[in-house]
Amino acid sequence: MKNTSPTPEEIKEENKKIRRLRFMVNLNLSLIYQSNMTREAALEHFIKVKKYALRLFPGKEQAFELIYAPRFKRLIIEKYGVH
């Protein structure tokens, strides 16, 4: 039977990707919050971060929608109102 546990190198790489994604999420949330960009521009930032996340973690769209999308949606509603 093959060992399916991730190697230390795989764990390290996964953690590195998670840190990159968190940085991108936080950077873009701050940018949206602190700038005078339009709602459309804020939505474009959200879409770009989502695409970046899916490049790092292919097939994990549902995880992104559960973990990060609500933060963007709350901020966009708070800043721009419901449209």
| pLDDT at 82 exceeding the cut of 90 | no
The amino acid present at 2, given as its one-letter code, is K
Torsion of CA 25, 49, 80, 40, to 10 degrees: 160
Spatial distance between the Cα atoms of 12 and 77, rounded to a whole number of angstroms = 36
State pLDDT tens for residues 31-47.
Answer: 999 999 999 999 999 99
Q: What does the pLDDT read at residue 4?
A: 87
Residue type for 70, please?
Answer: P
Check pLDDT > 90 for residue 83. no
| Average pLDDT of the chain, as a whole number | 95
